[in-house]
Amino acid sequence: MSTQPGAQSGPQIRPAPVRKSIHVNAPPEVAFDVFTSGIGRWWPASHKIGPADLDRPIIEPRAGGRWYERDVDGTECEIGRVLVWDPPARLVLAWQLGLEWKYDPDLITEVEVTFMAEGDGTRVELEHRDLERMGAGAPAMREAIDAPGGWSGLLELYSQAAGQ
Amino acid sequence: MTYANRMVSALADPTRLSVLEKLRDGPRSVGEIAKDMPVSRPAVSQHLKVLKDVGLVGDRSVGTRRIYYIDPKGLGAMRAWLDQFWEAALEGFKAAAEAEAAKSTKEDK
């Protein structure tokens, strides 16, 4: 059997970026500051990488800075790094956690956050993009599809929704 | 509407769900999917587009044909997860930023 031209690169799914937009009743300076140096005040504590309890995530305030979590036992786990540091208007972070929720130095997905004055407050827009890169180095994850929240989970969710 | 909701509503159409079911056994072209279905090829294409937009299905060209397949790496699920994650995280961020703004306003007075 001959190989199809271009078959080597294999199929690739390009999920659309995750986009969020929210109005915050705070000036851009405050919003930017709370998003970055205050990340420990809003980051969901349940979302952590290390085995120990989360102390807080930390974003170093400069381009090239680290983005990591510090756990209560002092362990530090990388999440990614700062790509663009442009307070109070714009922040681009590299999210370097793959499908298995593990840090991968070769994986870069971008999280861009912009802060625009809107009335007395700020319009905060977030885009998490290049999600297709998450699949690049990972083994085929059939189990992800069968995991809760994956394929089976979705069908279950669907049947529940349909049954209502 | 959260992404997971969009994904669920993408599957809420029984025909669309059948289209996805057909891909469970392996990659298929639009024609192959439409063959045993009571809907037209353009309708199947439209359903595939919706499934592609939510990240459940991908496509690639093989010769002159376009082949559709189910996301083999769980990217759709990952995207749904991230969508929910950022939704919740930004709500928390909004509360924290507004608390901070209220505090500095008080200090100014």
pLDDT, average across residues B89-101: 95
CATH superfamily, with its number, for domain A14-163: START domain (3.30.530.20)
Kindly identify which residue of chain B lies nearest to residue A20, measuring between CA atoms.
B87
Residue in the structure block whose two tokens are 């009335």:
A119
Domain ranges of chain B: 3-108
Q: Do A158 and B3 touch (CB under 8 A)?
A: no
CA angle A26, A27, A32 (to 5 degrees): 95
Residues of B in contact with A128 (CB under 8 A): 82, 86
Q: Looking at CA atoms only, how far is residue B7 from chain A in angstroms?
A: 8
Best of A25, A118, A154 to substitute, by most chain B Cβ atoms within 10 angstroms, is: A154
Is A131 touching B (CB cutoff 8 A)? yes
Cβ pair B78:A134 closer than 8 A: yes
- Helices marked H in chain A — which ranges? 28-36, 142-146, 151-163
Exposure letters A58-85 (e unless 16+ CB within 10 A, then b) = bbeeeeebebbbbbeeeeebbbbbbbeb
Mean pLDDT over B18-38 rounds to 85
Strand partners, A21: A125
| C-alpha separations of A25 from A63, A74, A78, B3 in Å | 27, 34, 31, 25
| B73 — pLDDT class (breaks 50, 70, 90) | low
Query: Distance between CA atoms of B77 and A142, rounded to whole angstroms?
Result: 11
Domain ranges of chain A: 14-163
Least confident range of A23-37, A48-62, A138-152, B43-57: A138-152
With a cut of 70, say whether residue A135 has pLDDT above it: no
**Quick one: A142 exposed, middle or buried, by C-beta within 10 A (0-12, 13-18, 19+)?**
middle
Does pLDDT of A81 surpass 90?
yes
Residue A127 carries which side chain, given as an amino acid letter? E
Which chain B positions have a beta carbon within 8 Å of A14's beta carbon?
58
Tens of pLDDT, residue by residue over A13-36, are: 677 888 999 999 999 999 999 999
| CATH number among 1.10.10.10, 3.20.20.60, 3.30.565.10, 1.10.340.30, domain B3-108 | 1.10.10.10
Whether ipTM tops 0.90, in short, is no
Q: Do B75 and A13 touch (CB under 8 A)?
A: yes
pLDDT band at A136 (very low <50, low <70, confident <90, very high): low
Of B8, B74, B96, the CB nearest to A158: B8
Contact between chains at B96 and A31 (C-beta distance less than 8 A): no
Look up residue A160 and give its two tokens: 């529940």
Q: What is the pTM of this model?
A: 0.66
**Mean of per-residue pLDDT scores for chain A:** 79
Chain A neighbors of B15, CB-CB under 8 A: none
